[in-house]
Amino acid sequence: MRKRYLSLATAVAFSLGLSAQTHASEMTSAYQQYQQAVSTGDTAQTLKFAQQALEAGQQKYASDSDNLFALKYNVAAANLKAGNNDAAVEQFEALTELATEKYGALSIKTLATKLDFYSALTANHDERFVRITSLSRGELLIIKIMEDLPDSAAKYPADKANMYYMVASKLLETGQIPNRIEDVKATLSTGLAAAQATWGEEDLRTLRQRQLLGQLAYVSNDLNKAVALLEPLTTILESKLAYTHPVALQVHALLEDAYTRLDDPEKASYHSNQIAATKPWQSHMEPLKLTSKKPEYPFVARGLTGNSQLEVVFDINPQGKVQNARIKEGTGSSKYFEKSALEAIQQWRYTPRFVDGEAVIAKGMTVSVNFEANVKARNLVFNMPSTDYVRSDAARLGETTPRNR
């Protein structure tokens, strides 16, 4: 299993005040063990030793010190990684207030804290949906963050590109896009321009923001703009790397559908073939979900039935396409839900499964499909394949082989 690394926002705050403690002789035993647990991806041990380090730090550091702030931050981040979402929400909320007081409402450190607070909010199930009567707490927070970005950039111009990139990265990470799409697009457009001016077109940070803008154009049915934004991304990635970058794979899937809807079968076929011709970065690799469509809640079932859940079994062929989709035996659900689930899943797109570097069929894949009555599910959720093997989001594209795992 791939290790899950801390988000960019967490990484910014993770270093607060701890740079002076880089030598092992200056670390407490708990903090050394915490660092080891982080490096191995052991979430239970990470939380255990983060808490122990905080307890030790409370005896050693002043209540207003940067070191103590960082140790509290580590505990909140560890709770979030461990799935303790309620605790993480409470802790990040307190840390946001503290960061605002310590560093200022518009500083990059406060922004980092707010963004991880947003991660904690969106990790809760209730935050994954927008109820008809009100906006979610997480959505209100990210909207406020975007509203404050111009003022933050004006006050700290040297941090402008990083600030906008951090927001774009968080939107990509969570897959949750606020309903105010035009505001999001404006924020991302500003961020893309800042990234191009600061880091250049071929930097991964620039490409990630181009990716999200292209995705938003795609889901807004502005297909010509989506194509214009996304085509250069695949060209750059594929000219620089000897393997197929997962971002390029997802973009190929979006472009395949966009060109199909634009009635350009030749280009649609090209992007479909690019997925089928994936050059894997590992010899054995399970399918990665690239794009998916949310099943529609059946109109005939609205007001007549409550929530429904079913499981769908399917195969993925060596080209990454879903085939032989069927409802798992024993699933109790109406034919209306079954039809909707199958219609949606048949449009999902994956990378192929690889065994010894060769694409093979993946049989018996199973997913759970949930239908919730009286809830308007977002259809703006993107499946982000892991890019853990990339050395650094800050690195320019230059590596020809992925990092050894």
pTM value is 0.73
Residues 352-380 have pLDDT tens digits of 999 999 999 999 999 888 776 544 444 43
Residue 305: the pLDDT is: 53
Return left, alpha or beta for 124; rule: phi > 0 is left, psi -120 to 50 is alpha, else beta: beta
Residue 330: the pLDDT is: 66
What sign has the CA pseudo-torsion 366, 367, 368, 372? negative
Domains of the chain, each with CATH number or no CATH: 1-123 (1.25.40.10), 295-377 (3.30.1150.10)
SS3 for 319? coil
pLDDT in tens, the chain (405 residues): 333 334 545 555 445 444 444 333 445 688 888 888 888 889 999 999 899 989 888 888 888 888 889 999 999 999 999 999 999 999 999 999 999 999 999 999 999 999 999 999 988 654 444 443 346 888 899 999 999 999 999 999 999 999 999 999 888 777 777 778 888 899 999 999 999 999 999 898 899 899 889 988 988 889 999 999 999 999 998 888 888 888 899 899 999 999 999 999 999 999 999 999 999 988 999 998 988 877 877 766 665 555 577 889 999 999 999 999 998 876 666 677 888 888 889 989 999 999 999 999 999 999 888 776 544 444 434 454 444 433 333 333 433 344 433
Rounded alpha-carbon distances, angstroms, from residue 219 to 55, 214, 292: 47, 9, 12
- Direct distance between the N- and C-terminal alpha carbons of the chain, in angstroms, rounded to an integer: 10
Residue 172: the pLDDT is: 79
Residue count of the chain:
405
Q: How far apart are CA 12 and CA 6, in angstroms?
A: 10
Rounded alpha-carbon distances, angstroms, from residue 122 to 75, 103, 262, 398: 18, 25, 34, 34
Residue type, 30: A
Residue 377: the pLDDT is: 41
